[in-house]
Amino acid sequence: MTNERLLFNKNILVAVDESESGRRAVSYVGQILGGMTGFKIIILNVIHEPDEDYFQESLEKEAWLAQHKLKADAMLNDHRQLLIKEGFEPNNIVVRSIILDCPSIADCILTELEKMGCSTIVVGRKGVSRKEEFLFGSVSNKIIHHAHDCTVWVVE
C-alpha cells in the first residue's frame, strides 16, 4: 500500500445541457460551495452537431447551429448568474459552449475534462428509463463508468 498523497485541485467542471437536470447540477454546486474560496467552476455545454445527413442543404445546418449556439449562450449566462447569486466571484466562473461532431457526448465531455485538468466533474441525472438507456445510452452513466483520475458527482 502506498502512502503517497493524491493531489486534487479545486477546479470543478459542471456538464450541462438544456435539460432541467443540468440546471439542478449547477444549483447544487452553488448551494454546496457558494461563498467558499479557491474554487473555480467551469460550466460546459456540448452542442451535439447533427449528422450532415440530417440537413438537405448546408445553409439549413448553419441556421440550426446558430440557433442552438444562441440558446446555449443564454442558458449558460443564466447558470452563471445563479452561481453569482450563491456567492461565487464572477472571475471564478467560466462558461463554455462547444459544437462537436462526436459519436458520444460523454466521451466528448471526458476529453474536455482531461484538457481542462479538473479534479471533479458534476453531472445531473435525467432519470431516463431503463428502456431508454437500453435504446440510446445515458450520458451520466457513461461518465460514471468511464471517468478516471477524477471524482464524479451525480446530482439527482
Partner 1 sequence: MTALLSQKDIRQMTSRWLPASQHNRHFRIHSDTTDFFRIDYGDVVTLGENSYLIRHNAKEGRFGLDDEIKFWVKRAIDLQTGNLKIIKLVFHEKFTSHIGNIEFQCFRSPKKEARILDLVADHDNFMHGYSIEDESGNIVRVIDFIYGKSLHAYIGNLQIDHQTYFYDLFPEILENFMECVEAVGFLHAHGEKHGDIRRDHIYLDRDNQKYRWIDFDFNYWQKENIYSYDLFGLGNILIFLVGMGDVLIQNLKKKNPHALNALSEEDLNIVFNNRVANLKKIYPYLPESLNRILMHFSKGAKWYYENTIQLLNDLGEVKNM
- Amino acid identity, residue 48? H
103 touches partner 1 (CB under 8 A) = yes
Which DSSP letter does residue 71 get?
A: H
Q: Site for partner 1 (CB under 8 A): which residue of 4, 7, 53, 148? A: 53
13 touches partner 1 (CB under 8 A) = no
Provide, rounded to whole angstroms, the least separation between the CB of residue 102 and partner 1: 10
11 touches partner 1 (CB under 8 A) = no
Q: Is 54 helix (H, G, I), strand (E, B) or coil?
A: helix
Which C-beta is closer to partner 1: that of 79 or that of 142?
142
99 touches partner 1 (CB under 8 A) = no
Are 147 and 108 in contact, with CB atoms under 8 Å apart?
no
Spatial separation of the C-alpha atoms in residues 47 and 3, rounded to whole Å: 42
Binding segment (CB under 8 A) for partner 1, from list 24-32, 61-69, 113-121, 128-136: 128-136
Q: Is 68 helix (H, G, I), strand (E, B) or coil?
A: helix
63 touches partner 1 (CB under 8 A) = no
Classify strands 11-16 and 40-48 as parallel, antiparallel or unpaired.
parallel
Q: Is 87 helix (H, G, I), strand (E, B) or coil?
A: coil
Q: Which residues bind partner 1 (CB under 8 A)?
A: 48, 50-54, 56, 103-106, 129-139, 142
